[in-house]
Chains A and B, each alone.
Chain A
Amino acid sequence: MTMEPLILPPVPGLSGIDVYEAHGGYGMLRKAVTMKPEEVTDEVKKSGLRGRGGACFPTGLKWTFMPKQTDKQKYLCVNGDESEPGTFKDRQIFELNPHLLIEGAVIAAYAMGVGTIYLYIRGEYKRWIAMVEKAVDEAYARGYCGENILGSGFSTSFTVHRGAGAYICGEESSLMNSIEGERGYPRVKPPFPAQFGLWGCPTTINNVETIANVPVILRLGWEAYSKIGHPKHPGPILVGVSGHVNSPGVFELPTGVLLTDIIYKLAGGVPGNKKIKAVIPGGSSTMILRGEALEGVTMDAEGLKAAGSSVGTAGLIVMDEDTDLVRVLTRIAGFYHHESCGQCTPCREGTGWMHKILKRFEIGEATRADLDLLLEVANNIEGNTICALGDAAAWPVQSMIKRFPEEFERRVKPGAAPGPPGGGALGATGGGRTAHSALASFPA
């Protein structure tokens, strides 16, 4: 079930460059600069590494989107905005193994011919920004960043860019706008960042944990790496467990570990031996799962997709049998309302509507028609916005209503009018677009 940690090995003082070097650190950068850049990309491609920021996109493939021949400057942005509720893994890398991240980023830059790296870290992480900046200074002093790295003729700069409090800046195009000193508004795609990114130049954005995997791939070789965990989503993964467990924390595991093993064997089970009512498997935007449906579900892209959710950022939130799920959903909806950037009407208005309707359920003032209205709003946000925040706001609402209808049913105001014709999720009159028909394509 567990493995020898590759991303966060328990070596005292590893965040300092001397200890990091003594344990072979920067050896993979030395190796990489003797390879052809496309050989490095190929290694990452064949390893099967998929992005750890939530979308699971194949990393090596993403790198190949960068143009080889261009007269423009090329950029690499490393995404450490880490703001998805339930996610606290990148912070461990900043604190415990920042040089692995720096080494991975410089290797990635070499592979793509990038001359400038920006590491974007959320503004609240000031303490961790200081840790990473210290490591960056050390790396510069030893010639791992900057001009003519290790005498290879390759040069790249490395700059830490501090955010200032905006969940949306974890969205890649918003992150680029934030680096450019703009408000963090997502951009319409296409054009994609590899063609038109920072200042209109080719840009790749990778998550912190993704980049930290790069030196590991070179050290083990793509073949050995691809055999760790689930074959379609291989490698080590940092799983954050929070909520109702006895020992919350971040665990480095191979992909493919059973959720029940993570909860009961690693995170110490549920306080008071209570039953699990629900889990959110990969951060607040991933679809909620019923406690009874966890048997056999594994922590990887494929296992969670089959279970009707997604791996997201592997931020597992556990809720015991006494949890008020309407309250949980209301809080999540409030979050997305607060964090919507306001560019797209369905998201700007819809997230507020969802929050308002859910508050009615929370205080027991909702009618039966409110549930249909809630779903209709969610369905009209999903797929109708520039970026995925709209989807991220809609999915928890849709999945919670679908999988926990009883939680809403018991909150409907007794004797309340059924609402206008057309409402019907809770057995009101048919006709129009009912909640169930609206959910026809939604995984049970």
Chain B
Amino acid sequence: MLSEQSLKKIEELKKRYPRPQPVVLAALWMWQEENGWISREGMVEVAGLLGIPEHHVYGVVSFYTMFNSTPVGRHKIEVCTNVSCMLRNSDRIVKHIQESLNVGVGETTPDGRFTLVEAECLGSCGTAPMMQVGDEYYENLDEAKVDAILSRLK
């Protein structure tokens, strides 16, 4: 169930659009922020709140890459490997994280702490290589910086 605060926010957002469906992305964001991923239960609740079909919400969740339709680790590490980052050795960053966490790309550590994925361009080309962990951007990375960042994330 979404929190009271989120439900209130959804009602406010509905006033910003001529119909309720446009709030679907925002409502799904709220569900994901509260639960880490979007379960079937979440999709059903969002559909009910907006008065739209459940299959439509599922279609939206499956279309947008930032929505997690399966559980992920507490910290989702997304390393940009697109061209500008690739030219500045993002592959070394990916390899370093794989080795230090003993986890493959697309996998979650057994303790549920980290999930590692490769990301498409995150708009930090001038500060490459970079990664996003949760909502935060970490830029101008090297191996030592990555170690320091990951050790802070429990």
Partners in one complex: yes
CA of A331 to CA of B121 in the docked complex: distance in angstroms?
11
Task: Tell me if A328 counts as interface (CB < 8 A to partner B).
Answer: yes
Task: For residue A103, give the distance in angstroms from its CB to the closest CB of chain B.
Answer: 20
Task: Tell me if A385 counts as interface (CB < 8 A to partner B).
Answer: no
**Judging by beta carbons under 8 Å apart, are A181 and B23 in contact?**
yes
Task: Tell me if B4 counts as interface (CB < 8 A to partner A).
Answer: no
Task: Tell me if B110 counts as interface (CB < 8 A to partner A).
Answer: no
Q: A122-B123, A125-B123, A317-B83 are in contact. Are A248 and B29 (CB under 8 A)?
A: no
Please pick, from B17, B23, B126, the residue contacting A250 in the complex, using a CB distance under 8 A.
B126
**Judging by beta carbons under 8 Å apart, are B26 and A317 in contact?**
no
Task: For residue A197, give the distance in angstroms from its CB to the closest CB of chain B.
Answer: 13
**Judging by beta carbons under 8 Å apart, are A248 and B127 in contact?**
yes
**Judging by beta carbons under 8 Å apart, are A127 and B126 in contact?**
no
List A55-91 residues whose CB lies under 8 Å from chain B: 73, 82-88, 90-91
Task: Tell me if B136 counts as interface (CB < 8 A to partner A).
Answer: yes
Please pick, from B23, B28, B125, B137, the residue contacting A87 in the complex, using a CB distance under 8 A.
B125
Q: Which B residues are in CB contact (< 8 Å) with A182?
A: 21, 60
Instruction: List the A residue with the shortest CB-CB distance to B86.
Output: A331
Instruction: List the B residue with the shortest CB-CB distance to A178.
Output: B25
Please pick, from B60, B63, B125, the residue contacting A240 in the complex, using a CB distance under 8 A.
B125
**Judging by beta carbons under 8 Å apart, are A181 and B126 in contact?**
no
A residues sitting closer than 8 Å to B (CB atoms) are 73, 82-88, 90-91, 122-127, 157, 159, 161-167, 178-184, 199, 240-244, 248-250, 280, 284, 315, 317, 319, 323, 327-328, 331-332, 335, 338-339, 341
CA of A124 to CA of B66 in the docked complex: distance in angstroms?
8
Instruction: List the B residue with the shortest CB-CB distance to A327.
Output: B86
Task: Kindly list 14 other residue pairs between chains A and B, CB separation below 8 angstroms, not including A242-B84, A315-B125, A338-B120.
Answer: A85-B121, A86-B84, A88-B123, A88-B125, A159-B17, A164-B25, A164-B29, A181-B23, A182-B60, A183-B59, A183-B60, A183-B63, A248-B128, A280-B83
0/1 interface trace, chain B 98-109, chain A, CB 8 Å (1 if under): 000000000000
Task: For residue A202, give the distance in angstroms from its CB to the closest CB of chain B.
Answer: 14
**Judging by beta carbons under 8 Å apart, are B65 and A85 in contact?**
no
B residues sitting closer than 8 Å to A (CB atoms) are 16-19, 21-26, 28-29, 50, 52, 59-60, 63-67, 81-84, 86-88, 120-128, 132, 135-137
**Judging by beta carbons under 8 Å apart, are B127 and A328 in contact?**
no
Please pick, from A82, A180, A317, the residue contacting B84 in the complex, using a CB distance under 8 A.
A317
Q: Which B residues are in CB contact (< 8 Å) with A84?
A: 121
Q: A164-B28, A179-B22, A183-B59 are in contact. Are A123 and B66 (CB under 8 A)?
A: yes
Q: Which A residues are in CB contact (< 8 Å) with B125?
A: 85-88, 240, 242-243, 248, 315, 317
Task: For residue A44, give the distance in angstroms from its CB to the closest CB of chain B.
Answer: 27
**Judging by beta carbons under 8 Å apart, are B63 and A166 in contact?**
yes
**Judging by beta carbons under 8 Å apart, are B121 and A86 in contact?**
yes
CA of A183 to CA of B28 in the docked complex: distance in angstroms?
13
Instruction: List the B residue with the shortest CB-CB distance to A124.
Output: B122
Q: Which A residues are in CB contact (< 8 Å) with B136?
A: 127
**Judging by beta carbons under 8 Å apart, are B83 and A243 in contact?**
yes
Task: For residue B37, give the distance in angstroms from its CB to the closest CB of chain A.
Answer: 13
**Judging by beta carbons under 8 Å apart, are B86 and A165 in contact?**
no
CA of A162 to CA of B32 in the docked complex: distance in angstroms?
14
Q: Which A residues are in CB contact (< 8 Å) with B88?
A: 243
**Judging by beta carbons under 8 Å apart, are A184 and B122 in contact?**
no
Closest A-B pairs by Cβ, 6 of them = A165-B66, A164-B64, A242-B125, A181-B21, A165-B65, A242-B84
Instruction: List the A residue with the shortest CB-CB distance to B19.
Output: A199
Q: Which B residues are in CB contact (< 8 Å) with A249?
A: 126
CA of A165 to CA of B86 in the docked complex: distance in angstroms?
20
Please pick, from A126, A178, A248, A331, the residue contacting B126 in the complex, using a CB distance under 8 A.
A248
**Judging by beta carbons under 8 Å apart, are A339 and B22 in contact?**
no
CA of A341 to CA of B63 in the docked complex: distance in angstroms?
8
